[in-house]
Amino acid sequence: MTIHREGYTILSVSAITMIALNAIIYYASGSIFTSVVVFCVVLYLLFLQFFRYPERDLTIGSNLVVAPADGKVVVIEEVYESEYFKDKRLQVSIFMSPINVHANWYPIAGLIKYVAYHKGKYLVAWHPKASTENERSTIVIQKDDGREILLRQVAGALAKRIVYYPHQNDKVRQCGEMGFIKFGSRVDLYFPIGTKITAQIGQKTKGGVSVIAEM
């Protein structure tokens, strides 16, 4: 188990701030010093688990779509995708709780055809309008056969920063690092109609490992 690079700054600043706070309280009001230390230790351990980055035996397969995130499948439905495809697609959404690993992985290998970042609100992740109104990124990957899938990192009420690494025309490998949602939320995937979805509502996924579709 290692710490993801996106956590280095936050963890360093948090450690320095907590040490300074505890030093001040120790000299100013020793009576609450122990309570503050315990609180800071617990909070810092939570930060550590937010930014953990586990080693995994990744799933690779040219016809497989691998889960881009840890979490639980909360949506499988046919919807109209209005940003890029502008037609009907199969949507699969994975909700990431605060206790999940928050790194994101590429579900397939291919060419990055489109990347966009949108500022927005911070509605709870399961809100019907979260995919179109919250802070989000949109990434489209094209397979060698020309078929495309769209991924959308969606911020929630707790998540306040989305990080994504691809640029348009990048070639990416399956299960490579796609990005990070700081403190979690959800990832939506949009597939061509007719795609074989193997995931089920309520299924727990492991990013880079669980297979959610075949195409």
Tens-digit pLDDT profile for residues 53-65: 888 899 999 999 9
Together in a domain, 133 and 198? yes
Q: Which residue has the higher pLDDT, 48 or 186?
A: 186
Together in a domain, 127 and 152? yes
Tens-digit pLDDT profile for residues 147-202: 999 999 988 666 567 889 999 999 999 999 999 887 668 899 999 999 999 999 99
Together in a domain, 70 and 49? no
Range of the domain at 23: 2-53
Together in a domain, 172 and 70? yes
User: In the annotation, is 137 catalytic?
Assistant: no
Within a domain: 84:
yes
CB < 8 Å & 24+ apart, contacts of 55-61: 55/1, 55/2, 56/206, 56/208, 56/209, 57/209, 58/105, 58/174, 58/175, 58/208, 58/209, 59/175, 59/208, 59/209, 59/210, 59/211, 60/174, 60/175, 61/174, 61/211
Together in a domain, 68 and 38? no
CB 197 within 8 A of CB 90: yes
Together in a domain, 95 and 33? no
pLDDT number for residue 183: 67
Together in a domain, 71 and 177? yes
Q: Return the H-helix or E-strand segment holding 188.
A: strand 185-191
Within a domain: 59:
no
Together in a domain, 146 and 89? yes
pTM for this prediction? 0.82
Find the catalytic residue in 93, 131, 137, 185. Answer: 185
CATH for 113: 2.70.70.10
Q: Domains in the chain: how many in total? A: 2
